Amino acid sequence: MSGVFVVLAAFLASAVEMVEALTIVLAAGVTRGWRSSLVGVGVALLALACITALLGPALTLIPIDALRLIVGALLLIFGLQWLRKAILRASGFKALHDEAAAFEHEVAAAKSEATVVRAGLDWYAFTLCFKGVLLEGLEVAFIVVTFGATAHQVGLAAIGAAAALVIVVGVGVAVHQPLSRVPENTLKFAVGLMLATFGTFWSVEGTGAQWPGSDAAIVAILAVYTVVSFIYVRLLRTQRAETLHATLAQGRT
């Protein structure tokens, strides 16, 4: 059962980050040319492969209880960051991420920059794509390596990430525009919930405490976190509506 969750979490997290990276690469490629942009992508992927190849085996050397405690705590903190932002977006306290707007912003920025050629490459396009893919990819690498190592299923996590890569790049190449129809905010909500769930499960196991029902507790934690998150969204929406109402009433008087 946890294998399915590992693949799903790796797939969703990777898809979200790859959609964002694709927007940056498309903007650079369309406005500055594809050669320098794709070289930037290639170098970033190489750097990510090196980081993953170093981190993955290193993590497997740590004893399982210590690994679950430390990596679980990191995943929990990292996942709560995603979940917090997702709840704030869903309740209107934070602007929704809009790939079309992000694409327009990147295109305008790329057009306004002068061309500087270094090592035969358009340096702006190269660095933009390198940074974009490396930073978005680092989150994917972090999730895949920590999930995979802690669940002893690095292969499954990698399959989830690879599937996301194939689908996002395939669709991106086919439509040749940012994937603004992907429900990114909903996906981020789901990923935040899954990271927080697994982070909680593993870190508590690492302390020596025992979950009632063993692995079945994962489903219960996910259910509780989901319900409470939706309650938070509802409460925040009510609070926001009341504040707007009060502000409007004040403006009238």
Partner 1 sequence: MSLLVGFARFWYDFIIGDDWTIAVAVVVALVVTILLVHVQVGGAVWWLVPLAVLAFLGASLWRVARKT
| Binding flag, residue 224, partner 1 (CB under 8 A) | yes
Minimum CB distance to partner 1, residue 33 (Å): 29
Closer CB to partner 1, 115 or 210, in the complex:
210
| Binding flag, residue 115, partner 1 (CB under 8 A) | no
Binding partner 1 (rule: CB under 8 A), the pick from 228, 234, 245, 246 is 228
Binding partner 1 (rule: CB under 8 A), the pick from 45, 88, 159, 163 is 88
**Bridge partners of 117?**
122
**Bridge partners of 231?**
none
How many Cα atoms are found within 13 Å in the side-chain-facing hemisphere of 218? Answer: 17
189-218 residues in contact with partner 1 (CB under 8 A) are: 196, 200, 203-204, 207-212, 217
| Binding flag, residue 146, partner 1 (CB under 8 A) | no
Token pair belonging to 3:
């294998």
Closer CB to partner 1, 64 or 236, in the complex:
236
Q: What is the C-alpha separation between 188 and 155, in angstroms, rounded?
A: 23
Token pair belonging to 145:
């390596």
CA distances from 2 to 170, 197, 216 (A): 28, 11, 9
What's the chain's length in residues? 253
| Binding flag, residue 81, partner 1 (CB under 8 A) | yes
Helix (H, G, I), strand (E, B) or coil at 152: coil
Binding partner 1 (rule: CB under 8 A), the pick from 111, 243, 245, 246 is 243
Closer CB to partner 1, 73 or 121, in the complex:
73
| Binding flag, residue 239, partner 1 (CB under 8 A) | yes
Q: E strand or H helix at 253, and its extent?
A: none
18-77 residues in contact with partner 1 (CB under 8 A) are: 69, 73-74, 76-77
Closer CB to partner 1, 70 or 167, in the complex:
70
Question: What is the full DSSP assignment across 66-133?
Answer: HHHHHHHHHHHHHHHHHHHHHHHHHTTSSPPP-HHHHHHHHHHHHHHSPP-EETTEEHHHHHHHHHHH
Q: Which residues bind partner 1 (CB under 8 A)?
A: 69, 73-74, 76-78, 80-81, 83-85, 87-88, 93, 138-139, 142, 196, 200, 203-204, 207-212, 217, 221, 224-225, 228, 232, 236, 239-240, 243
